Amino acid sequence: MQSFDHATRTELEAAAFRRLLRHLDAHKEVQNIELMNLADFCRNCLSKWLVAEAEERGESLDYETAREYVYGMPYSEWKARYQEKATPEQLAAFEAREAQKQG
């Protein structure tokens, strides 16, 4: 990646990010808690990162707009259609991961 100029590298990174969003959109069965437990990030994290990057550049992007971009629809709609209730095992794994990060 070092051999690319800044603009080309930025375009490649942006394209890869859009591809990640398409991949997540194609796999709505993958729940956010599963992503958090396995990779320590989820769709909501991506939304927060977009907001933070916009703010860092002096731009305004509210969280709900960012979530709609990441989810491909309003979050409330995605949640009603696709979000399943977390299992006790998933919640325990999440809590253990969070405790490990604190410790």
Which pLDDT belongs to residue 59? Answer: 97
**HEC per residue, the chain:** CCCCCHHHHHHHHHHHHHHHHHHHHHCCCCCHHHHHHHHCCCHHHHHHHHHHHHHHCCCCCCHHHHHHHHHCCCHHHHHHHHCCCCCHHHHHHHHHHHHHHHC
Which pLDDT belongs to residue 101? Answer: 87
pLDDT values of the chain reduced to their tens digit, one per residue, 103 residues: 889 999 999 999 999 999 999 999 999 999 999 999 999 999 999 999 999 999 999 999 999 999 999 999 999 999 999 999 999 999 999 999 999 988 7
Which pLDDT belongs to residue 103? Answer: 79
